[in-house]
Amino acid sequence: MRVEPRPSPYWRHDLTHCLHTAAGALLSAHGLDPLTVLGAGWGFRYVPGEVRREEYYFPGHEDDLFAGLAPYHPVSSRWHQPADAVEGWRQVRAALLRGSPVAVAADNFHLPFRPAYRDVHTNHLLVVDGFDDETGEVFVTDPVPPSFRGPIPLAALTAARDSGNPVAHDRDLFFTANPIGNRWLEATIGPGVPRFDPDFVHHVIAENTRRFTDPAPSGVHSGLAGLHRFLTDAVDRFADDPDAVDELFVVGGPMLAVTGLHAAFLTRAGREFDLPRLCERGREVDRVAHHWSALRIAAATARADRVAAVDGLRRRVSALLDDLERAVGNLRPVPA
């Protein structure tokens, strides 16, 4: 039996990571444009203490990652947790036979096309979109650099999916010590996908600004106020708590991605609908995205001397929050 991958666009945004690229591959397979779907949502929501050592972690939406990524589209996802590797491949193979590509969790250490192959363990996400029983191969799509689309041995994918993802040396950082468990992610696209038009863009902007300014529910950090609390607390703990390094880096990853994508979403809308002010707003949001990038790098490289890093981190947090508040404020009223 052989299932060929369906032709679909190969999509990636420079500021995203494997969660967004895998989601983009699955959305493309269903005929949706990844940027207009994934770029619409922008906000912050985090339950203190929930951070997980997964590159595909998305704050506040573990049960339905794609609903968190695409809050304005009928998109959802569900994790499957098979009992073992045999059951894990049986389930994925059955989905592919139904014509549904899926995303699978994997350890880069076992994937021959990844730079970390046989070197570094890390918790990754990629798309499986076909197989060939006769050759013992599976077809995978992984736009994360160096980018790969093609066949690999099923045995290699099985090892990656069944990995304990251990910390083997001091280069196994951030996304290790969390077994892969053969998990796989199924995406569902419902009816009623909205058109990408000025009305939709105005609705998205109004809702995103509301999400940033509404009071947070009890026990949740959300919006501008919640992000301020999260960042301030992480930096306050940074010198004395080694976990603060991982928390800033891991939570900051999806925030970098959604902010960069929303900047691109606004820029595309400004150009397509002749709304030059939206292009200006896109540049302001893009500035915030690059604050996130700098903050993550500063936190990650400060592990050896956390005390010395605190003052610099405070300045970076202050700059990020100032530019974020300005960007959100300038999106109100909705540009015309």
pLDDT in tens, 12-71: 999 999 999 999 999 999 999 999 999 999 999 998 888 777 888 898 777 789 999 999
Q: pTM value?
A: 0.93
Q: By three-state DSSP, how is residue 199 classified?
A: helix
pLDDT at 243: 86
Query: CB–CB of 211/223 below 8 Å?
Result: yes
3-state secondary structure of 105: strand
CB 236 within 8 A of CB 229: no
CB 16 within 8 A of CB 49: no
Q: Is 56 helix (H, G, I), strand (E, B) or coil?
A: coil
User: 170 falls in which pLDDT band (50, 70, 90)?
Assistant: low
Enter the CATH code of domain 198-330.
1.20.120
Closest alpha carbon to 336 in 198, 196, 197: 198
Domain boundaries along the sequence of the chain: 2-189, 198-330
Q: Pick 2-189's CATH classification: 1.10.101, 1.20.1630, 3.90.70, 2.80.10.
A: 3.90.70
Same fold? 2-189, 198-330: no
Tokens standing for residue 19: 């969660």
Query: Each residue of 114-157: pLDDT tens digit?
Result: 998 898 899 999 999 999 999 999 999 999 999 999 999 999 99
On whether the CB atoms of residues 223 and 216 are closer than 8 A, the answer is: yes
Axis-axis angle for helices 306-330, 243-272 (nearest 10): 30
β-bridge partners, 128: 102, 140
Cis bond upstream, residue 242 (ω within 30): no
User: According to the model, what pLDDT value does residue 245 have?
Assistant: 87
* C-alpha dihedral sign at 36, 282, 11, 55: negative
Give the list of residues 6+ apart from residue 66 with CB closer than 8 angstroms, or none. 23, 75, 76, 77, 187
How far is it, in rounded angstroms, from Cα 303 to Cα 305?
Answer: 6
Residue 334 confidence class, pLDDT cut points 50, 70, 90 = low
